[in-house]
Amino acid sequence: MSNSELSKILYVEDDPDIQVVAQMALETVGGYTLCVCSSGQEALDQAEAFAPDMILLDVMMPEMDGPTTLGNLRKMDSLSVTPAIFMTAKVMPSDVERYKELGAVDVIAKPFDPMSLATRIQEIWGECHG
Amino acid sequence: MADSQPSMHEKLAALRSQYAERIDARVDDLCDLLDVFGDANESKRRDILQKLREATHKLAGSGATFGFPGVTEHARAMEHSCVDALNGDDNIEVGLVDRLRAMSDQLRKATETQSTETQSEAEKFSTQQDGTSVGREDNPHLHDSSRQDILIVMEYSAEQERQTRLELAHFGFNVRIVDHPQKMIADLKAHGGVDIIITGVHFDDSEDAAFKALGELREHSEFCTIPVVVYSEIDTMTSRLGAVRADVKAYIVKPVDMADLVNVMDDVTERHEEEQFRVLVVDDDESLAQHTEIVLQSAGMETRIATDPMQIYEVLDDFSPELILLDLYMPGCSGQEIAAIVRQREEYAGIPIVFLSGESDKDKQLSAMELGGDDFLTKPIRASHLISSVRIRVARFRKLRSFMVRDSMTGLFNHTTTKQLLDNEISRAQRAKGSLALVALDIDHFKNVNDTYGHAVGDRVIKALARLLRQRLRSADIIGRMGGEEFAAVLPDSGVNEAGRVFDQIRKAFSEIMFHTGDKSFNVTISCGVADFPRYDSATELSDAADKALYAAKHGGRNQVVKAQ
């Protein structure tokens, strides 16, 4: 991939509490540009115009869950290979494998530590482009 | 990155205390669900379990992030029990409710134990709340999250200094004051940067000192981005020009209510997390449209292309753009005609329409404008020129629109907009099977305030309350001024207990803010009625329930929050 700098992250999360703390963690600490969406549908509407370098999705959301959202995003040409990470409160080793099969490069467990979230994202990004 | 760490810690601490304030009430809302479980039939029980599952899932996912590892642990246990019961083939047994209740007791205990890191923050907060260890002047009883540091360069007397310090502290600012511009940079160096500088301009009988000091300030890389506001009795062209040249963000002429000054400061220091500009490009030539689109997107704007002008309404309704870039010559109909069609719809009568065309004939350009265009850009156009033309117009459009949807005195949503947003939130909650709380709020004996102290003072009270609400509520919450001394708030994803708890804290905080006029000081109280969806499942029922609860609060002696059950 030619562009190896992570700058824009599409972030999909329905819980406002988590939204605000993750946004802070990624924008203030990580210095990334975020497009925050509160639902899968919003993400589908915003994704192409925002053209993210990475997608970060909550798994369990009402209406359209994370995996379905990712599936729909993948149908867009410009997002067919964008690295995606799931965030979920339920991480079993078997789940991680399943999420990876769904096209995620990694899974971040919730609850997360706000101070190290950006570092973790950067690590995963590094692995994608290593 | 290292620079942003301390402020990140502060912000986190603020978020954590906000979360801590609500968590107890969220558990109350869970228990309410359990209370109706026993009497419910099988399908209703599944419904309740599903709701419990979603609520505990959220708590499990957020608890430890906000410093409550125990909450994560116990909420997760409850979530698992719900999932197991939902996935089981058998009917859901009533015994489950007792087990869930036992777990919710543990969950409640866990809400009382914060991890050590947040403990200190919580303690600080609680000592402030009961006011034992902090002097009143420094203790405005407001939330820490938006506390800002101000440096004031004062023109006049010590008495004014004391008063300013006092009033700004009530609005939640940390104030430092120096009495001459020459001392400004030294103070910044000695005590660190601030979020905003307010300065007078009249020192030593001239305006030179202030502007000279501001010029020097801009040469210090660590302070050059601090926004500066002039606050002065002097209002001359030379002084205003000096201010413009010193890159001053606002020029306020005394006397002005502190609340107005605070509003200006809020505007100036506003963190720019603004929504992307939305621009619709109408051009039958797709490759040209795409080129325009790429230029605008490179400037961070959101764009949509319409190549078929006949479908303009569909695109408008779907995308709700803030500016339309229109080609002049298209097959089927012309750009002028499209502009006229767009203007026929009332809701788009004000949207900026900019023609983008190779047409260089001035007469034709003017005739295009007559039919509803706002500007005419001639192709080929430099990318930077296109971007700034669009940006300026969209920004102005947003400002204008904000006058239509917001109450001019407080900046809160007006009555009509609040009602619309409530409808939107209810539909959203219905789709997501979520909850929301509506709060009706009214200032107690407001007429007395106006009659005793005058309308200007009454306005100050209203602005102070508006500001407190904005400070205490989350950005997702909707706050409206419904008229006079009536306010409303919509809290998505909250039940009646959570909202009740939050507003009881707001009620307490507000009652402790002192207002000053002449040599008199007084305080004002508020009453609130709270109701939640889906207990009341339409906008009308919800509003009625909240109003009735407010009525009950008034009749119960005012200065209280009543929940509609």
With helix as H, strand as E and coil as C, how does B382-428 read? CHHHHHHHHHHHHHHHHHHHHHHHECCCCCCECHHHHHHHHHHHHHH
Q: How far is A9 from chain B (nearest CA, A)?
A: 13
- A28 at the B interface (CB within 8 A)? yes
Query: Which of B10, B26, B57, B424 best tests the A interface by mutation, with the highest count of A CBs <10 A?
Result: B57
Q: Which two tokens stand for residue B121?
A: 């923050």
- A41 at the B interface (CB within 8 A)? no
Quote the CA–CA distance of A73 and A47 in Å, as a whole number.
8
Partnered with residue B230 across adjacent β-strands are B199, B251
Fold of B137-269: Rossmann fold (3.40.50)
Distances, alpha carbon B34 to alpha carbons B45, B55, B109, B225, B236, in Å: 10, 12, 17, 53, 68
CATH of the domain at A110: 3.40.50.2300
A62 within a domain of the structure (yes/no): yes
Looking at residue B99, its pLDDT comes to: 82
- A95 at the B interface (CB within 8 A)? no
Please indicate whether, in this complex, the C-beta atoms of B8 and A63 are within 8 angstroms of each other. Answer: no
Q: How far is A23 from chain B (nearest CA, A)?
A: 11
Q: What is the DSSP letter of B491?
A: E
Looking at residue B72, its pLDDT comes to: 85
| Facing residue for B65 by CB, picked from A50, A63, A114 | A114
| Facing residue for B61 by CB, picked from A24, A51, A111 | A111
| Facing residue for A63 by CB, picked from B302, B432, B493 | B432
Confidence of residue A17 (pLDDT cuts 50, 70, 90): confident
Q: Which amino acid is at B254?
A: K
Phi-psi region of B208 (alpha: psi -120 to 50; beta: other; left: phi over 0): alpha
Please indicate whether, in this complex, the C-beta atoms of A16 and B58 are within 8 angstroms of each other. Answer: no
What dotted CATH number matches B2-117? 1.20.120.340
> Is there a contact between B502 and B530 (Cβ–Cβ < 8 Å)?
no
A38-42 mean pLDDT: 92
Q: Which segments of chain B have a pLDDT < 70?
A: 1-8, 89-91, 94, 114-147, 156-159, 166, 170-172, 256-260, 270-275
Torsion B512-B516-B522-B523 (CA) sign: negative
Quote the CA–CA distance of B361 and B328 in Å, as a whole number.
12
A83-87 mean pLDDT: 93
| Facing residue for B8 by CB, picked from A28, A49, A50 | A28
> Is there a contact between B171 and B513 (Cβ–Cβ < 8 Å)?
no
**Which chain B residue has its CA at the smallest distance from A119's CA?**
B1
Helix or strand run (H / E) with residue B251: strand B250-253
**CATH 3.40.50.2300, chain B: domain bounds:** 137-269, 278-405
Q: Which amino acid is at B190?
A: A
* 3-state helix vs strand vs coil in chain B, percent to 5: 55, 15, 30
Confidence of residue A30 (pLDDT cuts 50, 70, 90): confident
Query: Is B194 in a helix, a strand, or coil?
Result: coil
| Facing residue for A20 by CB, picked from B15, B76, B276 | B15
Partnered with residue A56 across adjacent β-strands are A11, A85
Maximum Cα interatomic distance, chain B, rounded to a whole number of Å: 87
Please indicate whether, in this complex, the C-beta atoms of B60 and A111 are within 8 angstroms of each other. Answer: yes
**Which chain B residue has its CA at the smallest distance from A109's CA?**
B61
Q: How far is A110 from chain B (nearest CA, A)?
A: 5
Please indicate whether, in this complex, the C-beta atoms of A111 and B12 are within 8 angstroms of each other. Answer: no
Dihedral of CA atoms B248, B253, B256, B261 in degrees, nearest 10, equals 0
Using an 8 Å CB-CB cutoff, list chain A residues near B60. 89, 110-111
- What domain range is A114 assigned to? 8-124
> Is there a contact between B173 and B147 (Cβ–Cβ < 8 Å)?
yes
> Is the entire prediction scored with pTM above 0.80?
no
**CATH 1.20.120.340, chain B: domain bounds:** 2-117
Quote the CA–CA distance of B214 and B199 in Å, as a whole number.
9
Quote the CA–CA distance of B319 and B415 in Å, as a whole number.
25
Question: Is pLDDT above 70 for A14?
Answer: yes
Please indicate whether, in this complex, the C-beta atoms of B65 and A110 are within 8 angstroms of each other. Answer: yes
Average pLDDT in chain A: 86
Looking at residue A57, its pLDDT comes to: 94
Q: Which two tokens stand for residue B180?
A: 């001459």
What dotted CATH number matches B278-405? 3.40.50.2300
Closest by Cα among B290, B64, B276 to A10? B276
> Is there a contact between A62 and A68 (Cβ–Cβ < 8 Å)?
no
Using an 8 Å CB-CB cutoff, list chain A residues near B276. 49-50
- A86 at the B interface (CB within 8 A)? no
Torsion B4-B5-B10-B12 (CA) sign: positive
A129 within a domain of the structure (yes/no): no
Using an 8 Å CB-CB cutoff, list chain B residues near A113. 65
**Which chain B residue has its CA at the smallest distance from A15's CA?**
B58
| Facing residue for A62 by CB, picked from B4, B302, B434 | B434
| Facing residue for B62 by CB, picked from A31, A88, A111 | A111
Partnered with residue B377 across adjacent β-strands are B356
Using an 8 Å CB-CB cutoff, list chain B residues near A88. 61
Distances, alpha carbon B502 to alpha carbons A50, B212, B263, B489, B544, in Å: 35, 47, 23, 11, 21
Query: Which of A17, A33, A90 best tests the B interface by mutation, with the highest count of B CBs <10 A?
Result: A17
Cβ atoms within 10 Å, residue B105: 13
**CATH 3.30.70.270, chain B: domain bounds:** 415-563
Quote the CA–CA distance of B22 and B55 in Å, as a whole number.
14
Looking at residue B122, its pLDDT comes to: 35
Partnered with residue B355 across adjacent β-strands are B326, B376
Closest by Cα among B310, B277, B279 to B292? B279
| Facing residue for A31 by CB, picked from B1, B66, B79 | B1
Q: Which two tokens stand for residue B109?
A: 């205990």
Q: How far is B25 from chain A (nearest CA, A)?
A: 15
State how many domains chain A has. 1
Q: Which amino acid is at A115?
A: M
Quote the CA–CA distance of B263 and B184 in Å, as a whole number.
23
Looking at residue B257, its pLDDT comes to: 64
ipTM over cut 0.95: no
| Facing residue for B61 by CB, picked from A18, A25, A113 | A18
Give A90-112 pLDDT, tens digit per residue: 666 677 788 888 888 988 888 88
Give B483-523 pLDDT, tens digit per residue: 899 999 999 989 999 999 999 989 988 888 878 777 788 88
> Is there a contact between B45 and B19 (Cβ–Cβ < 8 Å)?
no
Fold of B415-563: Alpha-Beta Plaits (3.30.70)
Chain B: residues touching A (Cβ < 8 Å): 1, 4-5, 7-8, 11-12, 15, 19, 54, 57-58, 60-66, 72, 76, 79, 276, 297, 302-304, 431-434, 474-476, 492-493
> Is there a contact between B437 and B557 (Cβ–Cβ < 8 Å)?
no
Using an 8 Å CB-CB cutoff, list chain B residues near A62. 54, 431-434
String of DSSP letters for B337-353: HHHHHHHHSGGGTTS-E
Using an 8 Å CB-CB cutoff, list chain B residues near A51. 297
Distances, alpha carbon B183 to alpha carbons B152, B175, B210, in Å: 11, 15, 10
Give A58-79 pLDDT, tens digit per residue: 988 888 989 999 999 999 999 9
Distances, alpha carbon A72 to alpha carbons A102, B86, B219, in Å: 12, 28, 51
Quote the CA–CA distance of B179 and B332 in Å, as a whole number.
69
Looking at residue B3, its pLDDT comes to: 42
Looking at residue A91, its pLDDT comes to: 64
Q: Is the peptide bond before B380 cis (omega within 30 degrees of 0)?
A: yes
